[in-house]
Amino acid sequence: MGSLVLMIIGLAMFVAGYLVYSKYLAKRVYKLDDKFKTPAHEMNDGVDYVPTNKYILWGHHFTSVAGAAPIVGPAIAVIWGWLPAFLWVTLGTVFFAGMHDFGALWASVRNKGRSIGALSGRYIGKRGANLFLIVIFLLLLMVIAAFAVVIKNLLISTPTAVIPTWGAIIVALLVGIAVYRMRWPLIPVTVVGVVALYALIVLGNSVPVVLPESFLGMSPATFWILTLFIYGAIASLLPVWVLLQPRDYINGVQLFVGLILLFGSVLIATLFSAVKPEIVAPMFNTNLPEGTPSMVPLLFVTIACGAISGFHGMVSSGTSSKQIDKETDARFVGYFGAVGEGLLSLGTILAVIGGIKSVADWEEIYSSFGAGGVDAFVKGGGYLMENGLGLPASLSATVLATMAVLFAATTMDTGMRLLRFVVQEIGDAVKVKITKIPATLIVVVVGLGLTFSQGLGGEGGLRIWPLFGTTNQIMASLTLSIIAVMLIRKRRNPLPAIIPLVLVFVLSFWAAIDQLVSFTQPGNADWLLFALDVIIIVASVWVGIEAVLAMRRAAKEPPEPEHEDAELSAVREDV
């Protein structure tokens, strides 16, 4: 099977998912209502609660949830063969991620824009909510520390991406002023913004920025990590319209340009090139390198973003729900946001199974578990673009590396914003009022402490990353449990939430147990990861039990009146 056939099947599944399944969810399950007053209108403060055009909000939501994970996960997971990764990405996007992201957004909008952590208090109970915060805190800490290291690595390995990465911030600030202060029309502003971004990519490709071995008394690695944390802290404190919304929107458009280039390369190369982009990776890899874990359950936690991800629920309820203009926009922002991630993951799979020149080259890249990743995506995708569109290999690599860096950066600063919120929630739980600035400082100190815990090169940033996949998927199943309780209380069909909830919880719990054993291997034991894994397992089991009890209560209690959501007291969450 050629890359083109696989691409067409994948795109057809995403189109059907959005046009058919998401429509069913919107009309029959969530019953979206444009007359429902959204938090953006009810609590409009011009800072966090801002009614927003759905296309701009989609860009913010999509790029915040995407990050580098839809690239990293599939690029590693094809080591088990391309078919398992392809099926999990396509079916996971349509029936798992779309339902989850859309549902978390709807649930938060129906609860005055409250976060998933706060919703767990209302629907599962106080004990479950406090344990929920532990899982959320660890997950967000992993995200900001790991993504700082991923971005640092890309800026050092691909110096042509430095100028477009930081220049994109200036472009985003100007787009925000043009749209929200000058009130210029969106389409011409978008065109100018995207052209400016790609002009920066061309400039960066001509002027690579390589830092000297000692810069301001620091190594390049230390300098970039500190710079990223300072940037993330500032960005997370600004009103959303200043930087967060316009930057994410431009990045979202840029992604589609990048995907069109990638998918177009597959199409053109198949039809016109002398070298067809054939798949060199095995359908099922029976010659796995030593040390590769079992595909079941690890495939389902290795590909998180791009199939289903608990982090998405935090973004949906943390920032996106506070900017929804009309409730019906939730389908486009939430479900189509998940489809955007699926498209990125599909493009990644095509790049790493069909963009490698030979079977021998592929086996050399995938010589050990975890050896694939962003570099494999940049290499394979760059070759596809060179073969299909005739773009120079270095420019193709700069386009893809910039795309990966910008997505990782948007996730990092959104993660810092959300982690600050969690710190404030934890403060509330122990009766200590923590305002924005001190909470942000706590986030920066803890994040930097973890990142530099094993050296100033940022080696510690990836130390707890092995737990990201399992923690993220457990988080997703817990979010689905909240949605399921809401649907049962409203006497609507809960199966679209309960079926993925059960499958994701079982697989991620299985993976967590597997990892627990691996952390105790003689000669390779890691007691920090063991302790964190135990905390995550205990917390998730406890919350899971509370969720089952909450569902049983919801089924026995009288149905919730339709007007109850509108009558909730408005409580503003500072994000």
User: Of all residues in the chain, what percent carry a pLDDT higher than 90?
Assistant: 47
| Residue 575: pLDDT over 70 | no
| Residue 573: pLDDT over 60 | no
| Residue 245's CATH number | 1.20.1740.10
Contact present, 63 and 333 (Cβ < 8 Å)? no
Tens digit of each residue's pLDDT (9 = 90 or more) over 421-442: 888 888 887 888 898 899 999 9
Mean pLDDT is highest, among 130-134, 162-166, 241-245, for 162-166
| Residue 465: pLDDT over 80 | no
Give the pLDDT confidence score for residue 100 in this predicted structure: 97
Mean pLDDT in residue range 446-475: 85
Tens digit of each residue's pLDDT (9 = 90 or more) over 67-110: 777 888 899 999 999 999 999 999 999 999 999 999 999 999 99
Give the largest CA-CA distance in the chain: 68
Tens digit of each residue's pLDDT (9 = 90 or more) over 360-419: 999 999 999 887 777 888 889 888 988 888 888 888 888 888 888 887 887 788 888 888
Mean of per-residue pLDDT scores for the chain: 89
Six token digits for residue 226? 């500190």
| Residue 467: pLDDT over 80 | yes
| Residue 566: pLDDT over 80 | no
| Residue 466: pLDDT over 80 | no
Mean pLDDT in residue range 332-361: 93
Of the listed ranges 230-234, 298-302, 310-314, 568-572, the one predicted with least confidence: 568-572
Give the pLDDT confidence score for residue 22 in this predicted structure: 98
In a domain, 92, yes or no: yes
In a domain, 277, yes or no: yes
Q: CB within 8 A of 522, min separation 6: which ones? A: none
Contact present, 223 and 162 (Cβ < 8 Å)? no
Query: What residue spans of 355-493 are helical by DSSP H?
Result: 359-365, 374-389, 393-429, 436-451, 468-489
Q: Which domain holds residue 161?
A: 3-209+223-566
d(CA 20, CA 241): 33
SS3 278: strand
Based on the structure, what is the number of domains in the chain? 1
In a domain, 147, yes or no: yes
In a domain, 574, yes or no: no
For residue 369, what is the DSSP state?
T
d(CA 292, CA 288): 6
User: Of all residues in the chain, what percent carry a pLDDT higher than 70?
Assistant: 98
Residues β-bridged to residue 324? 52
SS3 50: coil
In a domain, 255, yes or no: yes
| Residue 319: pLDDT over 60 | yes
Let me know if 264 is exposed, middle or buried by CB neighbors in 10 A (0-12, 13-18, 19+): middle
Closest CA to 497 of 98, 125, 120: 98
| Residue 572: pLDDT over 70 | no
In a domain, 215, yes or no: no
CA distances from 44 to 39, 49, 51, 473 (A): 7, 5, 7, 33
In a domain, 122, yes or no: yes
Mean pLDDT in residue range 451-463: 85
In a domain, 46, yes or no: yes
